Structure 1
Amino acid sequence: MKAVYVDDAYTVVVKDVDIPEISANEVLIKVKVAGICGSDIHTYKGLHPFRKPPVIIGHEIAGEIVKIGEAVTKFQLGDRVTVEPQSGCGTCEYCLTGKVNYCVHRGAPGIGDWYGAMAEYFTAPEQTVFKLPDDMNYEQGVLVEPFAVGVHAVRKADIGVGDKVAVLGAGPIGLLAMAAAKAAGATTLMVTDVMDYALDSAVQMGATHTLNIMSKPEWMTEAKALVGGEFDKVLIAAGVPGIIDQSLALLRKGGRMVTIAMFHGTQTFDIHNLQNQEKEIVGCMTYTREDTISAIDLIGAGAVNEEAIITHRLTYEQAAEGFRLVDKKEDSSLKVLVTFE
């Protein structure tokens, strides 16, 4: 089969590899569409903490089941599916309480023997596979995984009806987190970025306010003025230096921020801005099964305007171009999809 490799930092190639064998509790999926995620770009740059080149890249997937392990009971040949790309040990305290994302033995595509999803075929344990509704297309299906990240972040932030929410960063994860916040009842949605085209997409997806913060060191004051006060919640979808202090400046007393972005290096902030006003910083790691189910339901209900976020559809032979587009933010790129049709 054909598979897309990050062969080395900034080097993407297509290779021929054997179709992977499945175990008794796995299914084999013929991949229709895979997505390029921001975390894939970290691998592309050689910066990802545990997914290192050379590796078959990718974990956002939608496709069709073409082979079933003998112990699989919930799926049939031909089922249209997506995958929650993480698998726990199944026996630890975290797995038993539905927090597979906490499992110290958590597996993910592109780690160890589990091939990445950007290939003609992909294996997945039965418990990680989800059927797509009949009226959901494969492009919507491939958005389930990144949207589940946003759903999880919104739950960690405890966003509810009437909340004022700031989303810092209008990449695909930031935009999908904003859509999840809107679905949870937030009525004021401010999105910041340095790219006008990304902010235009934020408006299409339901943002009430946007702000280009390029060359604006005091943009937090302007953001608060635009919405008439401080924010209840802040979702951080850009891992840039100083963003923790900036988020604290946006929050009301007792407000909460959630860190979604992948950070590199150390973030410093003024502890007094956190402690004296009882503000909160909450970490966020992937999602749970509950988040994935909610993501499917919400996409099915129209919570995500996929045409506002999907900007490029490329063949697998064009994968290197797709990674460059996302990394360099060329050609107004947001979510870039790779097809295997």
Structure 2
Amino acid sequence: MKNFCLVLREKDEMKLEERPLPEPKAGEVQLSIRSVGICGSDVSYLRKMAIGDFIVKKPMILGHEASGIVTKLGPGVQNLKVGDRVAVEPGVPCKACQFCKIGRYNLCKDVVFLATPPVDGCIANFHCHASDFCYNLPDNVSLEEGALIEPLSVGVHACKRAGVTFGDSVQICGAGAIGLVSMLVAKSMGAAKICVTDIAVDRLKRAKQMGATHTLLIKEKDPKKVAELIKEKIGEPRVTIECSGAESSIQTAIYATKSGGTVVLVGMGPAQVNIPILDAAIREVDIRGIFRYANTYREAIEMVARGDLDVKQLVTHRFQMEESQNAFDSFGKEGVLKVVINCESRS
């Protein structure tokens, strides 16, 4: 069997390269990778060779939103069998530090996360991964949906950090893939009113189609005035989930949120931004960050299996592995939301 991988070589240069078939170590399984979603981080590494302190210094396989079929078991694996269809949780922590022991393993300093330098990703025919971070997919959940469990988990973690509950009014800033999965999760958790804001008409149209009760096209530059427009639509949101990372949007999130409410910062923007901290302090608006997710995969898979939400509608474009350049070139264009690459081996 051949193992072709999508390798980032230099800035704006990636190639399909054949590499040796990986063999699973103790506690690992070998996977025939089937679907991989392209994330903004993959695109950033391609275009900039870095994200913050994470710098690509040697060739790296891209991709971390994945699903696959178990093809071989490493020593000691008992939770999976050959032929199992699984969603891959890309971050494997040390399992021994204080954060791992209390269940907040996403904060582990030694987490090994796919396609984060110097760790290879999984846009490949075959990949080996820790078996306890591979999750069985029910028969009614497709492998493509399995790849979308990763971005969906971000939405689950954001809504849990926000404490979204029945009857809530929720503001979602940013109608990209993460904003929309956060919207889907908030709706499934019982939110009564959800307003989604963005600067792109086509994204807001999709948000409405996917279940947003209200949308707002951002034209006004003053964050306070934008906050008032939001309040006119859904009242004061008790929860705001900020998914753009833009300074003005973070400011809007704080101004719009109800006193005593919660703002969750999901979007990764500049390292430092100016925010109306006094406004948040005197109104007891909680500001919470999230970093990826923890303990969300099984819950996210169950949501999809029960039909609580439909992640398939996120996918707008599909490509074969040989078309990876076209897949990456399409990212960010009008009408493109989530791009998925089929990595099934044809050898």
TM range (shorter): over 0.9
Q: Does 1:255 pair with 2:261? A: yes
Give the CA deviation at 1:51.
Answer: 4.5
Query: Where do 1:313-324 residues align within 5 Å?
Result: 313-324=318-329
Counterpart of 2:303 in structure 1 is 298
Q: Does 1:340 pair with 2:343? A: yes
The superposition leaves residues 235-294 of structure 1 with CA deviations (integer Å, 9 ceiling, x where unpaired) of: 0110112222111111111111101112233111122111111111101011112x1111
Aligned identity (percent) is 31
Partners of 1:91 and 1:81 lie apart in 2 by: 25
What's the TM-score, normalizing by structure 2?
0.93
Query: Where do 1:1-341 residues align within 5 Å?
Result: 1-46=3-48, 47-49=50-52, 51-53=54-56, 54-111=59-116, 114-214=119-219, 217=222, 218-227=225-234, 229-289=235-295, 291-326=296-331, 329-341=332-344
Letter in 2 for 1:35: G
Aligned partners of 2:172 and 2:197 also within 8 Å: yes
Residues paired across the two proteins, number? 337
The superposition leaves residues 317-336 of structure 1 with CA deviations (integer Å, 9 ceiling, x where unpaired) of: 2212222221xx22410000
Give the CA deviation at 1:197.
Answer: 1.7
Give the CA deviation at 1:44.
Answer: 2.4
Give the CA deviation at 1:114.
Answer: 4.3
Partners of 1:11 and 1:198 lie apart in 2 by: 29
Partners of 1:77 and 1:9 lie apart in 2 by: 38
Decide whether aligned partners of structure 1 residues 4 and 50 sit closer, same or farther in structure 2, where only a CA change above 3 A counts: farther
Letter in 2 for 1:253: S
What's the TM-score, normalizing by structure 1?
0.94
Counterpart secondary structure, 1:253: coil
Partners of 1:71 and 1:214 lie apart in 2 by: 57
Partners of 2:335 and 2:219 lie apart in 1 by: 17
Partners of 2:311 and 2:206 lie apart in 1 by: 10
Partners of 1:90 and 1:24 lie apart in 2 by: 15
Partners of 1:251 and 1:331 lie apart in 2 by: 30
Partners of 1:304 and 1:105 lie apart in 2 by: 33
Letter in 1 for 2:336: S
Partners of 2:115 and 2:253 lie apart in 1 by: 33
Partners of 1:287 and 1:65 lie apart in 2 by: 24
Decide whether aligned partners of structure 1 residues 262 and 79 sit closer, same or farther in structure 2, where only a CA change above 3 A counts: same
Counterpart secondary structure, 2:330: helix
Decide whether aligned partners of structure 1 residues 284 and 144 sit closer, same or farther in structure 2, where only a CA change above 3 A counts: same
Give the CA deviation at 1:304.
Answer: 2.9
Partners of 2:35 and 2:20 lie apart in 1 by: 19
Give the CA deviation at 1:112.
Answer: 6.1
Counterpart secondary structure, 2:279: helix
Partners of 1:63 and 1:214 lie apart in 2 by: 43
Letter in 1 for 2:135: F
Give the CA deviation at 1:200.
Answer: 1.8
Partners of 1:29 and 1:126 lie apart in 2 by: 10
Computed over aligned residues only, the root mean square deviation of the Cα atoms, in angstroms, reads 1.6
Give the CA deviation at 1:50.
Answer: 5.1
Letter in 2 for 1:219: V
Partners of 2:316 and 2:13 lie apart in 1 by: 22
Aligned partners of 1:205 and 1:304 also within 8 Å: no
Letter in 1 for 2:203: A
Give the CA deviation at 1:115.
Answer: 2.5
Partners of 1:2 and 1:68 lie apart in 2 by: 21
Partners of 1:35 and 1:51 lie apart in 2 by: 20
Letter in 2 for 1:282: R
Partners of 1:73 and 1:6 lie apart in 2 by: 34
Q: Give ranges in structure 2 of 5+ residues lacking alignment.
A: none
Partners of 2:12 and 2:209 lie apart in 1 by: 32
Decide whether aligned partners of structure 1 residues 300 and 75 sit closer, same or farther in structure 2, where only a CA change above 3 A counts: same
Give the CA deviation at 1:214.
Answer: 3.7
Give the CA deviation at 1:212.
Answer: 1.3
Partners of 1:160 and 1:85 lie apart in 2 by: 28
Decide whether aligned partners of structure 1 residues 50 and 25 sit closer, same or farther in structure 2, where only a CA change above 3 A counts: farther
Partners of 1:206 and 1:188 lie apart in 2 by: 10
